[in-house]
């Protein structure tokens, strides 16, 4: 049997199974003890029945003897000779045997639960019930209890009167009572067991609430939240787990910080020598008159500029991964977008003719870090400039939804799914770094927002659109 994966259900099933087994064992033992006691009670009832019937049988025999004219004076009773046969003065035995036995029938048709047979010392039947004729009695039977096929017998002997009585009870009657008793013992189990199992499951589920609290606390942890778990009020069994998780979180935080620090420091340290190398390449190109040297200097300058852009992107990535992207004081996103667009227009005067901007007239307040929003917007716009054709549409909605779209051939679905991966470059990327959309995706993830990519643009057949909602 395979146990369920749920710990609560597994504990409830094991406890329920254990209680059920114990209950069944207790019911079986109780049924056995009650069966033994029931047999004792039925045996006592057989004995009492025999003691009640035998005097009536003696009286019946006296009446018969009187009617037959064979009755004599009642024999004298000798003290201390109760079980001895007595001889009357006329020498005849008392009571005399009747000429034939008499069968007693019921007044109704209900079956008898007790049958009896009265016999004399010679074994002749003097009195019996109709049902006793079907019982096979031993030829010689002593006083006490005996079991024959289908019946439990009790025999009592009156040696003074010379009579014996055998009372028989069908074993089916006892078995019927035993079955009824077992049913009555089982009914509470069948009724209480479902409620008991439900109660156990609810109790176990409630007892596992600290585990679910720990699960929710862990679900809130991630690269943007590596705070240790609070162990105050935590149950004793979960504290070692929380301590181990906190140790793991501390190691992850140290690893992330080391990675971000390395990327940021490396990019920062590269900026100065790269800038110096670019200046040297430009000077070499300006002073040289050799066309081959000028071409090589131009290639070197182009490669160094690409390296400079890559170092800048690495610094932005480190900034996005390590910064707190939600702040307490809200900022108007329109102002940040205007500053960014003015800076890009000054760097590239042709840029103004290639964009259309849509933004509301009222402030768009957001708790997103201004630098993070500026980095995200810059990367989305630069991605559209590098990979798009024609105009670039920029829209900022009153609810903070920011979108950038450009015209291009629709991207295949598999390529679109990889666009947010680091160093993923689309066709015709040119001198792109492959980090623009990855940086935007990291900012959205760390800020608890959403970045959706569409190609083609919804309700159109072409284009690419990136939508930041947060």
DSSP state letters, 343-404? HHHHH-GGGGGGEEEE--SS--EEEE-HHHHHHHHHHHHHHHHHH-EEEEEEEE-TTS-EEE
pLDDT at residue 131, as a whole number = 72
Q: Does the pLDDT of residue 338 top 80, yes or no? A: yes
Which H or E element spans position 155?
Answer: strand 151-158
Closest CA to 325 of 467, 246, 440, 433: 440
Mean pLDDT of the region 431-442: 76
pLDDT for 466 equals 92
The conformation of residue 228, written as its DSSP 8-state character, comes to P
Q: What is the largest CA-CA distance in the chain?
A: 173
Strands 402-407 and 464-469: antiparallel
The DSSP line for 298-343 is HHHHHHHHHHHHHHHHHHHHHHHHHS--EEEEEEEHHHHHHHHHHH
**Rounded distance, CA 58 to CA 194, Å?**
59
Residue 62 pLDDT more than 80? no
CA–CA distance, 105 with 112 (Å, rounded to integer): 10
Tell which wins on pLDDT, 18 or 319.
18
The answer to whether 27 touches 94, Cβ cutoff 8 Å, is: no
Q: Residue 115: which of 149, 148, 152 has the closest Cα?
A: 152
In this prediction, residues 432-437 reach a mean pLDDT of 72
Q: Which range among 94-98, 99-103, 249-253, 283-287 shows the weakest confidence by mean pLDDT?
A: 94-98
CATH 3.30.565.10 for domain 326-470, yes or no, is yes
> Strands 115-120 and 163-170, how do they pair?
antiparallel
H or E segment to which residue 21 belongs: helix 7-68
Q: Residue 1's CB: how many other CB atoms inside 10 A?
A: 3
Q: Are 126 and 101 in contact (CB under 8 A)?
A: yes
CATH of 7-70+93-177, one of 3.30.450, 2.60.40, 1.10.10, 3.10.290: 3.30.450
* 65's tokens: 């003897």
Kindly report which listed range (95-99, 342-346, 436-440, 465-469) carries the lowest average pLDDT score.
Answer: 95-99
pLDDT higher at 431 or 331: 331
Nearest residue to 167 (alpha-carbon basis) of 249, 32, 48, 286: 48
Rounded Cα–Cα distance for residues 384 and 401 (Å): 17
Neighbour-count burial of 466, counting CB atoms closer than 10 A to its CB (0-12 exposed, 13-18 middle, 19+ buried)? buried
Least confident segment among 130-139, 349-358, 418-427? 418-427
Per-residue confidence (pLDDT) for residue 394, from 0 to 100? 92
> So what's the pLDDT on residue 58?
76
Distance between alpha carbon 270 and the CA centroid of its chain, in Å?
Answer: 55
Query: Has residue 72 got a pLDDT over 50?
Result: no
The token pair at 123 is: 């074994």
DSSP 452: E
Q: What is the pLDDT of residue 95?
A: 45
Give the DSSP letter string of 270-287: HHHHHHHHHHHHHHHHHH
Check residue 365 and give its pLDDT: 92
How many residues are listed for the chain in this entry?
470
pLDDT tens readout for residues 387-404: 777 788 999 999 999 999
pLDDT confidence of residue 94: 40
Map out the domains of the chain as residue ranges: 7-70+93-177, 223-322, 326-470
- Record the tokens describing residue 240, joined without a space: 């070692």
Q: Give CA–CA dist 450/289, Å, rounded.
A: 54
- Greatest mean pLDDT among 25-29, 280-284, 289-293, 448-452: 448-452
Residue carrying the six token digits 């609290």: 213
pTM check: above 0.75: no
Give the pLDDT mean for 401-408.
Answer: 91
For 36-46, write each residue's pLDDT tens digit.
888 888 888 88
Burial status of residue 459 (CB atoms within 10 A of its CB: 0-12, 13-18, 19 or more): exposed
Q: Which two tokens stand for residue 354?
A: 């290639």
Q: What is the CATH number of domain 223-322?
A: 1.10.287
């Amino acid at each position: 049997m395979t146990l369920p994966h749920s710990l609560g259900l597994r504990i409830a099933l094991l406890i329920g199974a254990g209680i059920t087994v114990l209950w069944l064992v207790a019911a079986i033992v109780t049924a056995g003890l009650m069966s033994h006691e029931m047999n004792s009670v039925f045996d006592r009832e057989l004995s009492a029945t025999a003691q009640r019937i035998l005097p009536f049988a003696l009286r019946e025999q006296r009446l018969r003897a009187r009617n037959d004219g064979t009755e004599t004076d009642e024999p004298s009773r000798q003290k201390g000779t109760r079980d001895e046969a007595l001889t009357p003065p006329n020498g005849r035995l008392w009571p005399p045997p009747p000429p034939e036995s008499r069968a007693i029938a019921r007044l109704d048709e209900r079956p008898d639960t007790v049958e009896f047979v009265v016999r004399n010392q010679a074994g002749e039947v003097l009195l019996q019930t109709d049902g006793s004729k079907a019982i096979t009695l031993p030829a010689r039977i002593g006083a006490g209890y005996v079991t024959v096929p289908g019946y439990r017998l009790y025999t009592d002997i009156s040696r003074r009167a010379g009579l014996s009585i055998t009372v028989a009870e069908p074993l089916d009657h006892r078995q019927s009572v035993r079955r009824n008793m077992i049913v009555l013992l089982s009914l509470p189990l069948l009724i209480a067991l479902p409620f008991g199992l439900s109660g156990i499951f609810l109790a176990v589920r409630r007892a596992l609430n600290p585990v679910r609290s720990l699960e929710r606390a862990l679900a809130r942890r991630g690269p943007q939240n590596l705070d240790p778990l609070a162990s105050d009020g935590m149950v004793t069994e979960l504290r070692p787990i929380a301590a181990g998780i906190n140790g793991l979180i501390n190691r992850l935080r140290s690893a992330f910080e080391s990675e971000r620090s390395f990327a940021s420091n490396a990019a920062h340290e590269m900026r100065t020598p790269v800038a110096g190398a670019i200046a040297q390449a430009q000077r070499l190109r300006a002073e040289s008159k050799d066309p081959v040297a000028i071409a090589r200097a131009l290639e070197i300058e182009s490669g160094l500029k690409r390296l400079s852009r890559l170092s800048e992107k690495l610094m932005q990535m480190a900034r996005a991964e390590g910064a707190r992207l939600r702040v307490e004081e809200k900022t108007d996103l329109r102002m940040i977008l205007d500053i960014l667009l003015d800076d890009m227009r000054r760097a590239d005067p042709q840029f103004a003719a290639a964009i259309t901007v849509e933004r509301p007239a009222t402030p768009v307040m957001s708790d997103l870090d201004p630098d993070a929003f500026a980095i995200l917007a810059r990367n989305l716009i630069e991605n559209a400039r590098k990979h798009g054709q024609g105009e670039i549409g920029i829209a900022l909605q009153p609810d903070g939804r920011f979108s950038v779209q450009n015209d291009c051939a629709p991207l295949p679905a598999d390529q679109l799914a990889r666009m947010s991966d680091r160093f993923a470059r689309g066709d015709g990327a040119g001198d792109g770094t492959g980090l623009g959309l990855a940086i935007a995706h990291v900012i959205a993830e760390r800020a608890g927002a959403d970045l959706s990519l569409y190609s083609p643009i919804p309700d159109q057949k072409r284009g690419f659109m990136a939508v930041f909602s947060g």
